[in-house]
Chain A
Amino acid sequence: MDYRVSKNAEAPDTTVVYLSGRMTFADHETFRGVIAAFDGPAGQRMIFDLSELAFIDSSGLGMFIIARDTAQKRGLEFSIRAARDEVKRLITVAKFHRMFDITD
């Protein structure tokens, strides 16, 4: 998995993290870097953009749960957007839309 953190000057209260490639058990270390981006003041919006993510396994779902937990503890808003194909199927099977803020 690769990721890039994007902060837009027009929306200073929003951070978008673009995840790409395959998100699996092997990415735990990489994901620490993603979590490090959850450092804004309370009320900040964190968005995971999954439009470039091709595959996720159950360890990857676990990382989303960790991200959600981190956001809650720091008073940040956390949402997931643009999941597609296999990734969309898996987060649907896990009923994530009932626990996460998910948009297409």
Chain B
Amino acid sequence: MPVSASHSLYGLDPGIPLHGQRVLIVDDNTFNRRTLTRFLTWAGIRRVDAVTETDEIMAALETVNPDMVVIDCDMAGLDGIALCRRLRDDRRWRDLPVVMQTGLPSDQFRAVCFQAGATDIIGKPVNPGECIARVRYHLERRQLIHELRGFRERVERELMQARDMQLALVPETAHVAAVGERHAMWIDAAFRSSDEIGGDFWSLFELDGERLAVFVADFSGHGITAAINAFRLHTLLLRLAPTDMADPAALLTLLNQRLKEILPVGQFATAFYGIIDRATGLLTYSAAGAPNPILGTGGGFRPLDASGFLLGAFYEAAFENHVVPFSRGESLFLYSDGLSEAQDMFGCMMGEDGLLNLVADAARRNHARPLPCLLDTVASRYGDRLHDDLTAVWITRR
């Protein structure tokens, strides 16, 4: 019995449209079905189906695929509680609103119903106002949850795509290995994106046959914003001339100005840019408030000073070069704060000292290429679910 869209019970606001929603009634009493169908129609629901035999219920759920099921517990041969439990045990119907109908339900019966997973209980005889309000409440809520879920799934897909794009920004394993061969170095790198995606970025640049440059950066914040900033940096680096890449401090000064022009206040990157020159046996580097890289020599491991103005934060920032010997057999370990700020199960942060210990320990077990061993230890002690991106690059001169 169609009703005009403007119709509403007691002149109340009918609420958001529910035209597309389907309700399945499980009831063998013709009068009850008619009454309920009429109320549902008043509630703005146009698609009502009914089941009158208990053995048809599951098949009807499949064919109708309802947004709500209304079960009459007084139906002959039907155990409404058992049916409710059965629906809740099935992944497909776990979230389906299940409304139970029964004459004069006791408090104990209500409690058992709710424990079995019923969404709501309507006593008989059914009052139209209450019935419509309850049905609408559950259907509206379901619709909102569906919309939210859809939105969330979309955002997650976008984040996944952004993460894949970010992974494609950094050098591939085969390329890293080939560069290492050309420059007589073992180079191992790990680049992992957190669930939230962050702004990590790293790259290698072969300046000539003797000089290899490595760039590591980490943008503040998380999410798409940080990832987009990593892309911006990548684009800036691609546009630079080879002469811009030859002086670390000059490069950071240039990047600082370019980034300051485009970044909102409060966004910046920490960065490290170093050039390993095999002809002179020196590492020349400049840094922008990055985690301190770890230099491995015959005398053990020590942090290098990577303090410096945050990249893209202040126009007036100036950067300086540091020069340290980097001979054959020595190693340089670069990493993002996603590693050093990792927390164990007790909320205890690794910190720089903790990392130094782990690095020394890994190098004892595998002198030339300790990175896989180091990351295994980190995963076992700090878990492999990251709260932030993780970049780790280990370079050993052969």
Cβ-based interface call for B84 (8 A): no
Cα–Cα, bound, A92→B289 (Å): 9
Contacting residues, chain B, for A25 (C-beta < 8 A): 221-222
Cβ-based interface call for A63 (8 A): yes
B309 touches A94 (CB 8 A): yes
Tell me the number of A-to-B contacts counted with CB atoms below 8 Å.
55
A61 touches B310 (CB 8 A): yes
A62 touches B266 (CB 8 A): yes
Cα–Cα, bound, A66→B263 (Å): 12
Known: A57-B337, A61-B220, A93-B289. A86 touches B310 (CB 8 A): no
Q: Contact check: which of B265, B292, B306 meets A66 at CB < 8 Å?
A: B265
A94 touches B349 (CB 8 A): no
A92 touches B266 (CB 8 A): no
Known: A65-B266, A66-B265, A86-B351. A58 touches B218 (CB 8 A): yes
Determine the interface band of chain A, counting residues with CB < 8 A from chain B.
10 to 19
Cα–Cα, bound, A95→B268 (Å): 14
Q: Which of A85-104 contact B (CB under 8 A)?
A: 86, 92-95, 98-99
- Digitize B291-315: 1 where CB-to-A-CB distance is under 8 Å, 0 elsewhere: 0100000000000001111100110
A65 touches B265 (CB 8 A): yes
B308 touches A69 (CB 8 A): no
Cβ-based interface call for B206 (8 A): no
Q: Which of B319-366 contact A (CB under 8 A)?
A: 337, 341, 349, 351
Cβ-based interface call for A30 (8 A): no
Contacting residues, chain A, for B220 (C-beta < 8 A): 58-59, 61-62
Q: Looking across the interface, which residue of chain B has its beta carbon closest to that of A91?
A: B289
The majority secondary structure among interface residues of chain A is helix
A79: min CB distance to chain B, Å: 17
Cα–Cα, bound, A14→B268 (Å): 30
Q: Looking across the interface, which residue of chain A has its beta carbon closest to that of B319?
A: A95
Contacting residues, chain B, for A98 (C-beta < 8 A): 309
B314 touches A99 (CB 8 A): yes
Cα–Cα, bound, A99→B309 (Å): 9
Contacting residues, chain B, for A94 (C-beta < 8 A): 270, 289, 307-310
Contacting residues, chain A, for B222 (C-beta < 8 A): 25, 59
Contacting residues, chain B, for A93 (C-beta < 8 A): 289, 292, 306-308
Cα–Cα, bound, A22→B351 (Å): 15
Question: Footprint of B on A, CB under 8 Å?
Answer: 25, 55, 57-59, 61-63, 65-66, 69, 86, 92-95, 98-99
Question: 17 A–B contact pairs at CB < 8 A?
Answer: A57-B337, A57-B341, A58-B268, A58-B270, A58-B310, A58-B337, A61-B220, A63-B266, A65-B310, A66-B266, A69-B265, A86-B349, A86-B351, A94-B310, A95-B289, A95-B307, A95-B309
Further 6 A-B residue pairs, CB within 8 A, beyond A66-B265, A99-B309: A59-B222, A69-B265, A86-B351, A93-B292, A93-B306, A94-B310
The list of the 9 closest CB pairs from A to B, nearest first, reads A94-B289, A62-B266, A66-B266, A93-B307, A58-B220, A69-B265, A62-B220, A65-B266, A95-B309
